[in-house]
Copies of this chain bind each other. A is one copy, B any other.
Amino acid sequence: MDLLREQVWQANMDLQKHDLVTFTWGNVSGIDRESGLVVIKPSGVAYEDLSPANMVVVDLCGQRIEGELNPSSDTETHLELYRVFPQIGGIVHTHSMNATSWAQAGKPIPPLGTTHADYFYGHVPCTRSLTDAEIQQDYELNTGKVIVETIGQQEPLAIPGIIVKEHGPFSWGKTPDQAVHNAVVLETVAAMALKTLQINADVHAINQTLLDKHYLRKHGKNAYYGQQEHNEK
């Protein structure tokens, strides 16, 4: 648990390094699949006051197991994703500028080039709006549920992020560090997609062949990007 605390703390600090957060508007969690315990950032604590020791540990039902602080108010969203997607090990939520603007615009981000295709095997999806009932009761849990609904039958590690309509981006990965990596990619492709559309409003998604080439160049059994030990990264 100490290692995961350290990893989750480091991943939270990296959000700042990558300019993805203002104040406390972001959180990272990680899960230990053996014990089923989740380490997550405490709610509303300034980044300079975070440490591995004040990360909060909860179980998959949301019971606080270790720590004195309240866990992130988005904890129930994280837990829903961990329960439904056993292949993910870390989750990030931010209000990063460009991804949040796409979320506010309520539009999925189309794959317009190879930067996108290197990490996302298709559109970054955008959820539907929550109903009034979903907002009023169990809002954070329902946010998780609408993410799951939107991912549907897609492989979550092939679409390692989403934008929640009127809210902002969530991303994930096999580890907290990879979830942060994918949050940076999501923010970058969001910024590029807006600029691309400003240059050429008629542009459309790249074709499947180029998407396959780039995604599979970095992922899967025939990947040849990077050094052997990094192929899956």
Contact = CB atoms under 8 A, between A and B. Distances in A.
A85 to B, nearest CB: 23
Interface residues of A, number: 63
Nearest to A225: B73
Contact of A105 (B43, B196, B206, B225): B196
A113 B167 contact: yes
Copies of this subunit = 4
Contacts of A203: 104-106
B136 A213 contact: yes
Contacts of A101: 192, 195-196, 198-199
Given A70-B227, A197-B199, A210 B105 contact: no
Contacts of A69: 227
A184 to B, nearest CB: 6
Task: For the complex of A and B, list the 3 residue pairs with the smallest distance between their C-beta atoms, beginning with the closest.
Answer: A44-B226, A101-B195, A105-B200
